[in-house]
Structure 1
């Protein structure tokens, strides 16, 4: 697929995906959704890609849905938003959360609506100091989609999640870090360099173990303690059979730097 609305580059085991509609704050159209999903599919399928870094071009990360792409003439029936969520937003959130490799999001400006929740679906979220997060759905009489009603209570607790969803405040990057929404805040002029450094470092690590870790952490949301202990047993058994575990042990015993391959 030729990409017109995103940039996709692979370097040294890391896939860099940049949302690239800066004139519209990288808001989603159907065409952009299809390109984004295609890029994520390539990341999932290509074993040489061991880490994904997502960011946005220009002054914003993503303003969510481009409402012009859903505009209807007066008197026409309203679009089926449930159909839109099912076809476009849910698949990319599922792909990010199930990706068997780390997905980093570098939020370079405003992340609003679905843009905020796609960012929060990533494994590690860092933000420029000038960045902000807005659950803007309430301004349109909608609900937080793209996993927002799942991630927000788990990241913020129910009290804050409800207030954020119903009031739609502009949450600064510093506030997001303080509340536990994101991992870290980076000076604006350092965001690109530090996010790339994090991604390229993770791409050299035991990424198969990261995949097992993601699986276990997501399962813990619904598992009982006994169920989680059993899952940990099975995943630890599988991790112990990987090439990376053998490489790590060998490097430790021989006091040298391990060379992980992600398998």
Structure 2
């Protein structure tokens, strides 16, 4: 058995999040069951971080121990034949026994997509539908700027997390409005349980005039707690930056082989 790293893309609509669940079907349950069938033995995965029920991912890093007689390309082919249609492995590479996608994650990007009008069945699972209320866009942008930097984000997290520290650093927070659609992008060195959805919810409250923009300062200083969590279906894990990154190393190796 050798260690492989993979990137999993999934639509989270029908799942109870990524992390394995006893009561409910999670992405990890399905992935481990499929890997176990291929390996003919119980197989567990390590991954870069949990996601809430209904949240989607464009590339969730994970690792597993697998049969050495199957190449990385063969692993990807077989997994995509066996996994349900709302999951797809977009890369598999052989990696070192020490590589851990959670410990190696140095930054992540989340994108939140919302709409003020129904977009139809192709998009309903990926955009959060919000009431068609007037939004003060300048206030939302001002609020987003206050989130950038290193802060204690405890007031922007849900209960149930066992992290040692609630301090995180956001490198970039950007907001874009396009007709009836809204996009919120967050890049940071880590995110607390429910943090992105609570930040989006607070920015929306500010845009609707239900909170003052200075409410963000109060939450970050520990004098208030965010109380509106935006719906899960609008949240997408876009990218995880890894150090070391076995996928980049694989690309470099292939380039050397080609030359």
Give the number of the structure whose residues are more often strand, by fraction: 2
Which has the larger helix fraction? 1
TM-score bracket, shorter-length normalisation: under 0.3
**Structure 1 length as normaliser, TM-score?**
0.24
Relative contact order higher in (CA < 8 Å, ≥ 6 apart): 2
